[in-house]
Amino acid sequence: MSVNKHDAASYWKANVRLIVICLVVWALCSYGFAIVLRPALSGIPVGGSDLGFWFGQQGSILTFIAIIFFYSWRMNKLDEEFGVDEE
């Protein structure tokens, strides 16, 4: 099914907005929590180490995997909204 130019622009805008949100969350977890906020998170124990170290070693990776699944789920919903989903 074809999408007109207005819908295509709206679809692309929604797609880029979703990408930016996912990148901000990923940057906050991988850079913010693991590097910048590590001293503030050092007093919170998680799995035998502090929370800042956990974000640096495992948390940012797990967050990235969660973002991949969220992005896939949300893009399927977005495709349905704009009528470009795969049937």
| CB-based burial label for 6 (10 Å; 0-12, 13-18, 19+) | exposed
pTM over the 0.75 mark: yes
What average pLDDT is seen over the chain? 87
Residues in the chain: 87
Mean pLDDT of 65-73: 96
Helical residues (DSSP H) of 1-87, grouped into ranges = 5-27, 38-41, 51-54, 60-82
Residue with tokens 């470009």: 84
Decide: 26 and 63 in contact? Cβ < 8 Å. Answer: yes
Q: Which two tokens stand for residue 64?
A: 């990235």
Band (5; pLDDT cuts 50, 70, 90): low
Q: CA 21 to CA 14: how far, in whole Å?
A: 11
